[in-house]
A and B are shown apart, each in its own frame.
Chain A
Amino acid sequence: MNSQKMISTRDLTKTFGDFVAVNNITFDVRQGEIFGFLGANGAGKTTAMRMLCGLSIPTSGEATIAGYDVYKETEKIKQNIGYMSQKFSLYEDLTVAENIRFFGGIYGLKNGEIKARSRELINALDLNDQKDLLVGSLPLGWKQKLAFSVAIFHHPKLVFLDEPTGGVDPVTRRQFWDMINQASEDGITIFVTTHYMDEAEYCDRISMMVDGYIRALDSPAQLKKQYNAESMDEVFYELARGAKRTE
C-alpha cells in the first residue's frame, strides 16, 4: 500500500440508469492533507463520497482508500475511516459517555482502551460535568465537537466530514476548525465538504464538482489566481453557475 496517498481514484464513475451521477473523477489525497470537496447541490458529491466510504460500489473506474480497494475491501475501508455529518453524528438518547463507549465498541476497540481514551477525550473537551447528560440536551456546537472527536476516536487514517459546521455559531465554527487542524497535524487526513466559502480557504487543496465532473482542483491560492478571483466565493460562483444539474 502506498502510504503517501490516502485516497487515490482513477476515472471513478457511478451511473444510475442513464444518469451519470459521478463522471470519471480522478484525484489523489495525500496523508495529513485537508482536502475540501466542494460543488453545487446535485453535482454528485454525496454519491462520490458514498463510494469513497465503501458504501456504494462504483460502476467503473478504480479507487483505493487508505490502500484498500473500493470494490473488494469495503469492510476494511469502513474500519480505517471516520465519518461525521451534520445530519447524523451521535445518538441523542444516549449520554456523552455512552456514545463514546458505543462508537469505540463499533470500531472494535478493547474495553481498556475505550476507558482510557474516554477519560482523555472527556478531559480534552472539558465535558466532565456533562458526561452523564443525554447528548440531545447539549448545545449544537458541543455536539458537533464531540461528534468529531468520536469520529476520530479509533485513530483512523482518514476522516470524512460532510458539512460538519452547518448551522453552527461563528465562534464554535472556528473552534471546530482548530480541532480539524490539530487532527491534521496528528497525521489524520481530512476530507471535508462545506457551504461556507471562508472554510474553503482553510483547506490545503480543493476540488470543485460540477454536473458529475471535477472541474477544478488546486490550492485555494492557485484557484483564485487561475480564475482571477478575489475570493473562493467568486471561484465557486464562476464554476457553479454554468451547472445544468440541480439536486
Chain B
Amino acid sequence: MWDIFLQSINKSYTESGEKAVNDVSLHVEEGKLFGLIGPDGAGKTTLFRILTTLILADSGTASVGGYDVVKDYKVIRKSIGYMPGRFSLYQDLTVKENLRFFATLFNTTIQDNYGLIEDIYKQIEPFNDRKAGKLSGGMKQKLALCCALIHSPKVLFLDEPTTGVDAVSRKEFWGMLKNLKSKGITIMVSTPYMDEASLCEEIALIQEGNIMSVNTPDEIIAQYPDMLYAIKSPGMNQLLQELRKSELVATANSFGEYHHITFSKQGSMELLLKSLHRSDVEMKPIRPTIEDCFIHLMTHE
C-alpha cells in the first residue's frame, strides 16, 4: 500500500519556536492525486522535506508506503521521486547525461523504465545534447519530471512544479500528471494557484503551518457556509467600496471581472439593488471557487 501518512507533525526552524508546520495530520491513499494548496510560507516545502526523509520533524510520525520516515528512510528514498521547487538538476550536464546520471544512481537504465517517461521525454529528446542550464523553463520542468520518474517510483512528490509558469504550460503540466496517475503512481503536488486545486482528487488547504481543511475539492466547496453572489457594475473599484460600507453585505472580495459577496442577516439581493442607486448592475448566485473557500477559512479562524 503506497499511501502517505502524517500524524501530528510539528516543525520549527527558529529558537523562538515559531512553527513552520503545526500539528499536521494527513492521509493520502494509494494512487491518489493529492494537492497541498497554500501561499508561500504555508509549510508546504517543510512537509515535502519531512516525507522525502530530508529533514526530521520535531515531533509526530510520518510514513510513506508503510515505511517510517526516520527508521526506514533508505527504503523510502528508493521508492519515491521528488521534484523540489528549485531546479535541482546538473546545469552543466546535458539532458541525456542528467537522465542517465539519475538512472545510474537508482541502479537502473533509461531503457528499463522508458515506458513511464516516454510521453514526456519525447518532447525534450530533440535537445538531448543541450546542457540543462540552457533549456527553457518549460523544458527544464519536463526534464526534472523525467529524472524524478526514471526509477519508476511508487510515490511522486512535486513541490510547486507550476510556480512562475505561464497558463498554457501549466495546463500542459497538469495533463502529464493525470497521465502518470493513471499508471497507478501516488502523487502529492503543491501549488499556490488556487485554480489548480480542482485538478486534484483531494486537497489540503494550508496556511501558516496549519491545515485548514482536507477533502475533495467538491466537498470543500459544498461546505462553504454562505450563499455566494457575483456582482458587476461599471466602476468596479467604487462598487467595492460601496459594498464594503453597506450593512447589507457581510463580505466583499474582488474576483476578476466580478466581486463576490455574501449578505449579512438583514441583506438580500433586492435590498442591495435598491440601496446601490445604480442602474446597470448584474448580480447572480454562484458556486464558490476554492479561492472563496480559502478566504473564508483564513478569515474565520
Q: Which residues of A approach B to under 8 Å, CB–CB?
A: 39-42, 139-141, 163, 166-172, 174, 177, 181, 195-202, 220, 231-233, 236-237, 240-241, 243, 245-247
Contact = CB atoms under 8 A, between A and B. Distances in A.
B169 A169 contact: no
Interface in B213-234: none
Nearest to A234: B167
A196 B138 CA distance: 18
A166 B164 contact: yes
Interface stretch (B92-100, B148-156, B290-298): B290-298
Q: Which has the most chain A C-beta neighbours within 10 Å: B165, B169, B299?
A: B169
Given A170-B298, A237-B171, A195 B164 contact: yes
A116 B180 CA distance: 58
24 contacts: A40-B168, A40-B169, A41-B136, A140-B41, A163-B164, A167-B39, A167-B40, A167-B192, A168-B40, A169-B38, A169-B39, A169-B207, A169-B298, A170-B194, A170-B294, A170-B298, A196-B193, A202-B236, A233-B167, A236-B166, A243-B168, A246-B136, A246-B139, A247-B137
Given A198-B255, A232-B256, 8 more contacts: A166-B163, A168-B192, A170-B298, A199-B256, A202-B256, A237-B167, A237-B171, A246-B169
B299 A171 contact: yes
A84 to B, nearest CB: 16
A138 to B, nearest CB: 10
Contacts of B104: none
Nearest to A233: B167
Given A170-B298, A177-B254, A232-B256, A195 B139 contact: no
Interface of B: 38-42, 136-139, 163-169, 171, 192-194, 207-208, 236-237, 253-257, 291, 294-295, 298-299
B241 to A, nearest CB: 10
Contact of A41 (B42, B165, B256, B291): B165
Nearest to A177: B254
Contact of A171 (B42, B139, B165, B295): B295
A218 B195 CA distance: 25
A220 B257 contact: yes
Contacts, number: 94
B277 to A, nearest CB: 21
Nearest to B136: A246
Given A170-B298, A233-B167, A41 B138 contact: yes
10 pairs of A and B residues whose beta carbons are closest in the complex: A198-B256, A167-B40, A169-B39, A246-B136, A247-B137, A201-B256, A40-B166, A246-B138, A247-B136, A240-B168
A232 B192 CA distance: 19
Contacts of A241: 168
B132 to A, nearest CB: 14
B43 to A, nearest CB: 13
Contacts of A39: 166
A187 B169 CA distance: 36
Contacts of B207: 169
A7 B165 CA distance: 27
A41 B137 contact: yes
Contacts of A177: 254
A41 B166 contact: yes
A80 to B, nearest CB: 26
Q: Which has the most chain A C-beta neighbours within 10 Å: B138, B139, B168, B237?
A: B168
B298 A171 contact: yes
A169 B166 CA distance: 19
Contact of A246 (B137, B164, B193, B236): B137
A172 B38 CA distance: 13
A40 B255 CA distance: 22
Contacts of B253: 174
Contacts of B164: 41, 163, 166, 195
A174 B168 contact: no
B38 to A, nearest CB: 8
Q: Which has the most chain B C-beta neighbours within 10 Å: A141, A169, A220?
A: A169
B254 A168 contact: no
Nearest to A199: B256
A197 B254 contact: no
Contacts of A168: 39-40, 192
Given A42-B136, A167-B192, A181-B237, A195 B257 contact: no
